[in-house]
Amino acid sequence: MAVNTDFLGRTYPPSGPYAVTADEIAAFAAAVGATDPLHTDPAAARAAGYADVIAPPTMAVKYEQQSSRAYVADPAAGIDYSRVVHGEESFVHHRPIMAGDELTATTTVASIRQAGGHSMITVVTDLTGADGEPVTTASSTIVVRGGE
């Protein structure tokens, strides 16, 4: 089945809320080798003006992928995940993700295009805090390899 281009522009219902904990942030920081004490030491984070520890910038991908799973796993979208490779990821951070956040994620299929027999799909996921204010906008491109 080919990627269904009718999904272009589709916005999925919000997912979450995702509770962000200091333990999750510390584990993610350790996994990616982020050693800044702002990720693990609440006193250092408060001294820097934050209410609690802040996540490494790339931790937003965790919530982006949980949200965009609704699109990728939708059988009508025509995405064969065994043929997917990651293209690129980018973030616009409106503020850091912080321990204690309750994030909600909303994913929109921003583009679907063909290139060399492959489908290039970009989704944009907006992460918002419990107050509805923007936290991060994540843009993710996957490539669904064509052919057999």
Flag whether 103 is in a domain: yes
Q: What is the CATH number of the domain that holds 125?
A: 3.10.129.10
56-74, pLDDT tens digit by residue? 999 999 999 999 999 999 9
Contacts of 75 (CB under 8 A, 6+ apart): none
Q: What percent of the chain has pLDDT over 70?
A: 99
Give the three-state DSSP class for 88: strand
> Does residue 38 contact residue 53 with C-beta atoms inside 8 Å?
yes
> Does residue 138 contact residue 79 with C-beta atoms inside 8 Å?
no
Domain coverage including residue 86: 5-20+60-144
What's the predicted TM-score (pTM) here?
0.91
The number of domains in the chain is 1
Place of tokens 């272009």: 8
Residue 136: pLDDT band by 50, 70, 90 thresholds?
very high
- Secondary structure letter of residue 80 according to DSSP: -
Place of tokens 């409106």: 94
Query: What's residue 116's pLDDT?
Result: 86
Flag whether 136 is in a domain: yes
Place of tokens 């006193």: 43
Query: What's residue 117's pLDDT?
Result: 87
Flag whether 80 is in a domain: yes
